[in-house]
Amino acid sequence: MIRAATVNDIAEIRAMIRELAEYERSAEQARATEEQLREALFGEHPAAFVLIAEDDETGQTVGYALWFPHFSTWTGTRGLHLEDLYVRSHARGEGHGKALLASLAAVCRQNGYERFEWWVLAWNEPTIDFYKSLGVELLDEWTVCRLSGRPLKELAAQAPADFNQAPVWQD
């Protein structure tokens, strides 16, 4: 079963985020607290949304997909960015990942989103193979860029003195 997350899922979502980070060999980077997740997912202006995968027989949470809308200047429409897709190891191969992706594709269709995009680690061949089996197009010509920590702080310090902060995006 796939369902929208509720505030009661926060602890389980955080646990799965940590499990995903461990799988991706980056456990030290998963610092989000339950309070941060509660505000980001269920606050006045949600920054992201979560679908939960539950085992049909046991009702246990076996996976999640965390996503948020983005905008394409080329299509002039919103799209869906999948930040996290995770299925617990004991439940892999049972269709939960495909059900989460299919549900997100349905969100796209229902909302008129023309693109559904996400990243995958280059070393994660089983997952890449799974995505290819669904007809996913791998955009090898693009490179992900990230600015964080000290370099972000240093570049921000170079903003023009008369810069007026733009309003924070709210949906």
How far, in Å, CA of 109 to CA of 79, rounded?
A: 10
**Which one is catalytic: 64, 86, 113, 131?**
131
Burial-class residue 139 by CB neighbours within 10 Å (0-12, 13-18, 19+): exposed
Gyration radius (Cα) of the chain, Å? 18
Is 36:81 a contact under the CB 8 Å cutoff?
Answer: no
How far, in Å, CA of 68 to CA of 55, rounded?
A: 24
Whether 131 is catalytic:
yes
Catalytic residues: 131
